[in-house]
Amino acid sequence: MDEAPEPIPVTRTVDCGTAKLLPDVDRPHAWLLTVDGAPQSYVDLDAPTHLEFEYVRRLAHVLDEAAAPGQPLDALHLGGGALTLPRYLAATRPHSRQDVVEADRGLLALVTEQLPLPAHCGITVHAEDARTALEAAPEGSADVIVADVFGGARVPAQLTSVEYARAAARVLRPDGCYAANLADSAPFAFLRGQLANFATVFEHLALIAEPSVLRGRRFGNAVLLASRTPLPVADLARRTAGDVFPARVEHGAALRRLIADAEPVRDGEAVASPVPPDGTFSVG
């Protein structure tokens, strides 16, 4: 019997730049998605619970702790990429209902064509602006909102305001959880503003990041969590401490010290997240 042909890279111009799907030589059906050289997603079609990026693992820990094991969730994903987390949630919590919003129609077409979703997986994709979709979503319709939206390597300004935080709160159920992938470095002007935004709407906040990022030693990812009910910080701390690159979960007084005198950012003053230093998120 002839062996299956070796997978080859796929390059395509999409709305926001040049996307590439690069096969992983060590895993037969795994792919790295990059846009303009910046890694966006990693997917193993044979093993959707295999998560290559550390920040994605942290978001997955949040999904794992969002309800009893295996209990389906209603999830809204802002930002699609290669649909890594929706595939993970479909595998770990069958019968979940998931809506994925991705503004880049070209990227969405590439991913659904080259990395097709399993049949009857409960995932629906929408080619739409994240803020527009969030504001149109039914009130109290989501158990979790996962925001991982980057235009290039920056979070767009329309997703960094207190009005955006209020829109997320409206869509979440009373015990729901908001989780966002952000990026910053000391003195954390952007991150402090984001925490101040969500502190005006949600009683409980947490931040998950590597100690070197929290200490201001380098630019990196930080996962912001917000909820009206207490967050499972002890369980998240245990999970993230066991990762290959361990992270810390900051909450309570530590976060209040970080926010300090930062003020919520309104739509009129909102800006995109900072430009990463050269080479921070690039490959190849």
**Average of pLDDT values for 146-166?**
94
pTM over 0.85: yes
Q: Cα 280 to chain center, whole Å?
A: 18
Region class of 79: left (phi > 0), else alpha (psi between -120 and 50), else beta? left
Angle at 41 between CA 15 and CA 191, to 5 degrees: 85
pLDDT digits (tens, 9 = 90+) for 209-235: 999 999 999 999 999 999 999 999 999
b/e for 116-144, b at 16 or more Cβ within 10 A?
A: ebeeebbbebbbbbbbebbeebeeebbbb
What are the start-end ranges of the E strands in the chain?
Answer: 10-14, 17-23, 30-35, 38-44, 74-78, 97-102, 123-127, 142-147, 172-184, 204-209, 220-227, 248-251
pLDDT digits (tens, 9 = 90+) for 93-118: 999 999 999 999 999 999 999 999 99
- Please, what is the average pLDDT of the chain? 94
The pLDDT of residue 153: 83
**Average of pLDDT values for 189-213?**
97
> What torsion do the CA atoms of 38, 276, 128, 87 make, to the nearest 10 degrees?
50
The pLDDT of residue 86: 98
CA distances, 66 to each of 60, 144, 227 (Å)? 10, 8, 11
**Closest alpha carbon to 85 in 67, 106, 100, 107:** 100
pLDDT band (50, 70, 90) for residue 284: very low
140: its two tokens: 């109290």
Please check whether residue 7 is in contact with residue 23, taking contact to mean a CB–CB distance below 8 angstroms: yes
The pLDDT of residue 3: 60
240: its two tokens: 């993230």
Report d(CA 68, CA 10) in Å as an integer: 39
pLDDT band (50, 70, 90) for residue 278: confident
Asked if the model's pLDDT at residue 1 lies above 70, the reply is: no
Domains of the chain and CATH, by start: 46-269 (3.40.50.150)
**Average of pLDDT values for 118-137?**
97
pLDDT band (50, 70, 90) for residue 4: low
**Average of pLDDT values for 162-175?**
98
**Closest alpha carbon to 143 in 167, 94, 178:** 178
The pLDDT of residue 89: 98
Report d(CA 207, CA 195) in Å as an integer: 9
The pLDDT of residue 234: 98
Report the DSSP beta bridge partners of residue 23: 31
Report d(CA 209, CA 118) in Å as an integer: 32
Report d(CA 165, CA 200) in Å as an integer: 9
